[in-house]
């Protein structure tokens, strides 16, 4: 797997920085956000260093599909209420204008009673 030695998420993937892990397999890691915006707020991160959605290519399609199918499983396991009354929100920030703070592709998963209304 490709890693960036200066990337905080690559350091989490390698176990150099601790995290509160929810899931880990050969391709993905999921962990709680250190500054949660919602009762449920975790990040789903590929172990492969991809700087952002802007660098995703056709070779990443299966990886992105795994992220999108794993996110709901983890959201419900973490306490999100079932659809349609409950649910969750998934966000991928891309680049400076998109609000991306860490240059490593990651999916935010938020859950709870409309926590994003805070801002």
Catalytic residues, which ones?
106
What is the DSSP code string of 75-100? Answer: HHHTTPPPTTTS-EEEE---TTTTT-
How far is 28 from 44, CA to CA, in rounded Å? 7
How far is 58 from 72, CA to CA, in rounded Å? 23
């Amino acid at each position: 797997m490709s890693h960036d030695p200066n990337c905080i998420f690559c350091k989490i993937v390698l176990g150099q920085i601790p995290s509160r892990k929810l899931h880990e397999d050969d391709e993905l890691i999921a962990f709680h956000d250190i500054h949660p915006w919602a009762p449920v707020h975790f990040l789903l991160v590929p172990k492969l260093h991809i700087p952002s959605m802007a660098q995703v290519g056709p070779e990443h399609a299966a990886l992105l599909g795994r992220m999108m199918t794993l996110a709901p499983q983890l959201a419900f396991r973490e306490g999100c209420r079932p659809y349609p009354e409950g649910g969750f929100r998934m966000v991928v920030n891309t680049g400076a204008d998109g609000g991306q703070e860490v240059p490593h592709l990651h999916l935010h998963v938020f859950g709870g009673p409309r926590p994003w209304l805070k801002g």
